[in-house]
Chains A and B, each alone.
Chain A
Amino acid sequence: MATRETSLKKSSPALFQQVQGVLRTQEGVLLIITIISVLILATQTDKFLTVKNLLNQGRLMTEIGLIALPMTFIIITGGIDLSVGSIVGLSAIMLGYSWHNLGFPLEVAIAIALGIGALAGAINGLIITRFRVPPLIATLATLAFYRGLAEGIAQARSVTGYPAWFFDLGQRETLGIPNQLYFLVIGIVISAILLSRTTFGRSLYAIGNNELAARFSGIPVNRNKVLIYAFSGFMSGFAGYVLVSRVSTTRSDMGSGWELDAIAAVVLGGTSITGGTGSILGTTIGLVLIQLLKNGLALSGVTGDATIVVIGSVLILSTLINIVVQRRLRGV
């Protein structure tokens, strides 16, 4: 390995440096893994690498994607939000309930769902900052609490029979591209800019690396934390709306277990679980990689249980590769 590297260095230093530049970033390593996975999967079945299939996958990953964006913010600050899946369920139920049972116009019901999501997130943030409860524990508690609320309100009944326009977001396309995918792309762009270019984004990194020093530097640590948990709740509420629109029904178990999918995408994307580093680009690649693996393996005839095993292995493998590559390049 060492000799090959040196000979490469001699023959074309420019190329080597370029490759090294890409590999130096976690996102670069992950992108290469994604490309390799796609190429392998494409050889297994010709149904995989088609525009139609890929767009459909984009549709399916939107909901998790919307949640993974604020989750990236939260994990960068050293926190975690386990309650997102339950907020999806609660918002979805509130959408159906306030339209069907309380008789609000559907537009208002949608707004209520989003508002409830944001409120649920803000409550997480307040519990975490006011009472100094560790985020893991606070959101583990609200995971149960919000799901319980959703089930209590739903009383095991689902709401269906939405008017046709309601399905525009989840089931139709504009210019051949699924409608919800536009929202995901907009969300990615805004989140990326927010994180990398603004004082707010910078404060999140500062908090994640050294919360005390951030506080001592006059950064409104608590306010910003409440904001990101509220944002997380809002996006979960929005994901709930997208989901209901896609599957045409509301049930109280919607979004169960989504917190783990969102966290997996974020962490696979190179965001440190201990906080301080990470990027939206990484999360996006992580999200895409997981979705393509799920779909590609299913299309290749791999059974569901085996698919989960493969995805788990890829998670571990890519994390290891990243660690090894980074370490080697840093010369540690």
Chain B
Amino acid sequence: MADSQTLLELKHISKSFPGVKALDDVSFDVRSGEVHALLGENGAGKSTLIKIASGVYQPDGGEIVVGGKAVRFGSPRDAQVHGIATIYQELLLYPELSVAENIFMGHAPRTRLGAVNWPEMRRKAEELLASLNIHDLDVTTKVGRLTVGNRQRVEIAKALSMNARVLIMDEPTAAITEADVERLFEIIRLLKGREVGVVYISHRLHEVFDIGDRVTVLRDGRYIATKAVAETTEDELVNMMVGRTLDTMFPKLETQVGEVVLEVRGLSRGRMVRDVSFQLRAGEIVGMAGLVGSGRSEVAQTIFGLTPPQAGTILMRGREIKIKSPRQAMRYGIAYLPEDRGTQGLIRQMELRHNTSLTVLRDLSRAGFINRQKEMQLAQSTIEKLSIRAYSPLQIVGKLSGGNQQKVVVGKWLATRPRVLIVDEPTRGIDVGAKAEIHRLLSELAQQGLAILMISSELPEILGMSDRILVMREGRLVAEFSRAEATQENVGMAMMGNWTGNGNTLKVQADGAAWQA
């Protein structure tokens, strides 16, 4: 690191918003050729800090130094001119324009007459992508038709086309597949070799160890520490982030597994749900693993009546039931916590109390009139029980942090007093503290006799929390493991389709008499 120079320095930055001190005397720097990870729970100030670094916000106090000189960023444009590019979680591309047009938006090569030099632009775009080892992307394709992973690559190319020296990436792996993550890391390594400094924000700790050189932790708007990644551990980072020692990320409690509550036999719908059969017992957490697109959410949504089944039967406590709408599913005691809390789980513009009551409006009303006192009590008790950090039941849900939003979704489903709880990616995009809390909650609920089906893309979560593990691939259940049998390797193999194990494969069981009994 001797010859690496400091590209960007944020010194003693403070920033307040009405009612909140978002950043208090925070310092941060990036050197050329390094990946500096920025960690912290939601609300710790990461977003504010990068928005200051990229010129979206102006700091109340402190100094920004680029290449040894103090600068002021009046706008994102100023930051770009100084070689700082930011790739946000929501990619800011024009879906109707081509890859090349997006890359050179605002600085397209010109002909002598001042018109856009199209051939030159395409050539340069291809060159740029090739320099990132991206050879499978046609620069004339419309960006709207690309996968998220490819769009992200376009964003990176766009940043480099503006000669960025510092690349800030806000949760770049939140929405892309494993394979895309691998390619992203390759690109980042390439950039390191070219002396670009990368600021990397992620909730996934193992990524920090995969790709990071240094890591800085923020908590409640304050600077906690900067460490060399080689000299720290995951536990240490988590402790710094949450400010206390977490006993464990996966507080699995011993439970009494009871009778079968829900059973599906030969459930089918389209290509995503093919002949799926399994049982859920009271008190157990059944993990459902599988790649994105393997049909896990589709199974859940079919059971929940959002997309009624085309074939197969659903049994509740041994009695066959027909489910054609979420309403019916809810009446049978089934609750579904959806994958995307922003668009499916919550009504973000509405108040907390109106969200927690949405699933139980009928129970809270008489002759159609909502009992607002009861509604308020429900909100208050949900806040207390799930320790939601909200200042009032009247708070707009969209203003809560991700973890607290997720707790509101959990709360609104627990209000229905379900017997079967299906949770779909229950901890996606929330910070470690809230994650451990949600895990503890699920564990407690199972102990109280709830049957839980937990869909997750995070293998450690599946392995850490489940009593039993089902694996889906291409719309079929392909394997089942007990808690004792399951390992990262065999579950992972089953997901990928390489599993050649023995008695665990469900194909055997599906044909066997055990399922007909």
Give A contacts to B, CB under 8 Å: 197-200, 202-203, 205-206, 209-210, 212-220, 276-277, 331
Q: Which residues of A contact B329 (CB under 8 A)?
A: 218
- Minimum distance in angstroms from B379 CB to a CB of chain A: 14
Contact, CB under 8 Å: B345 / A213 = yes
Contacting residue for B349 out of A200, A209, A220, CB 8 A: A209
Closest residue of chain A to B344, judged by CB? A216
Contact, CB under 8 Å: A220 / B358 = no
With known contacts A198-B365, A214-B358, A220-B327, A206–B338 Cβ distance under 8 A: no
Contact, CB under 8 Å: B359 / A213 = no
Main secondary structure of the interface of B (DSSP, over half): mixed
Contacting residue for A217 out of B18, B359, B365, B368, CB 8 A: B359
Closest residue of chain A to B329, judged by CB? A218
Q: Which residues of B contact A209 (CB under 8 A)?
A: 347-350
State which residues 295-334 of B face A: CB under 8 Å: 306, 325-327, 329-330
**Extra A-B contacts (12), CB below 8 Å, given A209-B347, A216-B338:** A199-B361, A199-B362, A210-B343, A210-B347, A210-B348, A210-B349, A213-B345, A215-B306, A216-B326, A216-B344, A218-B359, A220-B327
Q: Which residues of B contact A197 (CB under 8 A)?
A: 369-370
Closest residue of chain B to A330, judged by CB? B18
Contacting residue for A218 out of B18, B326, B343, CB 8 A: B326
| B73 at interface by CB-CB < 8 Å | no
Closest residue of chain B to A210, judged by CB? B347
State which residues 81-135 of B face A: CB under 8 Å: none
Contact, CB under 8 Å: A213 / B346 = yes
Contact, CB under 8 Å: A217 / B326 = yes
Q: Which residues of B contact A219 (CB under 8 A)?
A: 358, 361
Contact, CB under 8 Å: A214 / B347 = yes
| B435 at interface by CB-CB < 8 Å | no
Q: Supply 29 A–B pairs (Cβ within 8 Å), ascending by A.
A: A198-B368, A198-B369, A199-B361, A199-B369, A200-B368, A202-B354, A202-B358, A202-B361, A202-B370, A203-B361, A205-B350, A206-B347, A206-B354, A209-B347, A210-B343, A213-B343, A213-B344, A213-B345, A214-B347, A216-B338, A216-B345, A217-B358, A217-B412, A218-B325, A218-B326, A218-B327, A218-B330, A219-B358, A276-B349
State which residues 353-380 of B face A: CB under 8 Å: 354, 358-359, 361-362, 365, 368-370
| B223 at interface by CB-CB < 8 Å | no
Closest residue of chain B to A331, judged by CB? B18
Contact, CB under 8 Å: A206 / B350 = yes
Q: Give A200 to B279 CA distance when docked, in angstroms.
A: 36
Q: Give A215 to B304 CA distance when docked, in angstroms.
A: 11
- Minimum distance in angstroms from B337 CB to a CB of chain A: 9
Q: Give A305 to B345 CA distance when docked, in angstroms.
A: 50
